[in-house]
Structure 1
């Protein structure tokens, strides 16, 4: 006989708002601020090297808030925008950002208990680090939505402002390897894998995605390695069976 375990009661606790969780939310997100600042500096410098104006950079920072997808878009930005180049940019950024849809969906049991006009705008603040902090808080019984939103707003403001000095000192960052700026993105996402580790079996899709991405990057120019790696990882994860838990094993 197979039984299905009931999720802990705290995972069903409805969301609410209070001031008490704002400071803890900011405290939980604070270790990510140095990386966010470095990320923003590098992005501002890249935009300056691509001949964007500071105003254009700030408009993108204010309305896009995509992190890695912004790097991908600027690095592949064509000299002349055409319908095909715009479609390529849209496909690339969609592929990079699709993870935010999954992250937002995972927060639905929590934020879905709020009115739509409160829950959906909150999802605009979803980031990799913010999502990890929020899910850890939720797993320990937290339900105050201010924890997630308070930290998310801080990250947004820091990200927005950090691009300005990066843009202004772009000449000194013309060689990213000189200051190790080129290692920011790999180091950040490698660190993101640590709390997501759930054993070697569930890491197989990571391995598949990495191998496919590196192979395509070696064989083809451009950013196709991102799309193919993401698809390969997603497909391999979808084909895997979930391991049975102790409560789900036949009696």
Structure 2
């Protein structure tokens, strides 16, 4: 079948940016929670700015704070690299689903779109694409809007964190699981497709209870993948 033609327009960019509005309240809290947690961990303003602007991986950044050290060793560097790589590996699949949409795009523009890709942006953009939208600027608009907000709220949270001695008292440590739980709602397609999620979660909890460290992330992810493969 012929590939539908795509476009890249200012109107599509603005539509994509506006589509992110429903996610803004949760993202604002999430970004400020990261900034506050980073401040409590002792990160500098420049480190928070660099992580949010160039690493730009909210979940991985939060997980990375758990193993952040003032004095680094080869072991801790390897740990943080492994954990963040596993957390971000989902983006390989998210990016692959966009290949039919981006296949005729210039390489540089596709690379920028994929750098800005997030879970929220992917949900908004794939819904737009499934409804017949073909303006690639929509994807770019969601990415830019979410990136700007993430950087801004992270820095705001960094300054606020200096005045919050115990973030746990305000439930800031619960922001990430709640945020991602809400983001899963649009992906719900019934109990059977959700079975790999359930298996991954249960296996992660069991491994976390008996094995120290962050092995539970890797084992849980593999268990979910295995379950999905067996269901095919």
Give the TM interval when normalised to the shorter protein.
over 0.9
Show the 5 A alignment for 1:167-186.
167-186=158-177
**C-alpha distance in 1 between matches for 2:120 and 2:35:** 21
Question: Match of 2:76?
Answer: 85
Cα offset, 1:165, TM superposition: 2.0
Count of aligned pairs: 232
Question: Match of 2:63?
Answer: 72
**SS of structure 1 residue aligned to 2:182:** helix
Question: Match of 1:249?
Answer: none
Cα offset, 1:23, TM superposition: 2.2
**C-alpha distance in 2 between matches for 1:201 and 1:155:** 31
Gaps of 5+ in 1: 1-5, 242-251
**SS of structure 2 residue aligned to 1:132:** helix
**SS of structure 1 residue aligned to 2:184:** helix
Instruction: Establish whether residue 63 from structure 1 lines up as the match of residue 54 from structure 2.
Output: yes
Show the 5 A alignment for 1:3-82.
12-82=3-73
**C-alpha distance in 2 between matches for 1:119 and 1:169:** 36
Contact 1:26 1:154 in 2 (8 A): yes
Cα offset, 1:36, TM superposition: 1.3
Gaps of 5+ in 2: none
**SS of structure 1 residue aligned to 2:42:** coil
Give CA-to-partner distance per residue, 1:114-161, whole Å, 9 cap, x none. Answer: 121221221111100100000000000000011110121011011001
TM-score, length-normalised on structure 2? 0.95
Cα offset, 1:26, TM superposition: 1.5
Cα offset, 1:84, TM superposition: 1.6
Contact 2:19 2:124 in 1 (8 A): yes
Contact 1:130 1:148 in 2 (8 A): yes
Greater C-alpha Rg: 1
Cα offset, 1:78, TM superposition: 2.7
- Residue of structure 2 aligned with 1:141, choices 121, 125, 132: 132
Contact 2:16 2:138 in 1 (8 A): yes
**C-alpha distance in 2 between matches for 1:216 and 1:121:** 37
- Residue of structure 2 aligned with 1:195, choices 171, 174, 186: 186
Question: Match of 1:245?
Answer: none
**C-alpha distance in 1 between matches for 2:162 and 2:109:** 42
Aligned-pair Cα RMSD in Å = 1.5
**C-alpha distance in 2 between matches for 1:186 and 1:60:** 20
Give CA-to-partner distance per residue, 1:193-213, whole Å, 9 cap, x none. Answer: 211112211111011101100
**C-alpha distance in 1 between matches for 2:11 and 2:156:** 33
TM-score, length-normalised on structure 1? 0.88
**C-alpha distance in 2 between matches for 1:14 and 1:197:** 30
Cα offset, 1:45, TM superposition: 1.1
Give CA-to-partner distance per residue, 1:83-114, whole Å, 9 cap, x none. Answer: 12111111100100001111011000001121
**C-alpha distance in 1 between matches for 2:92 and 2:17:** 23
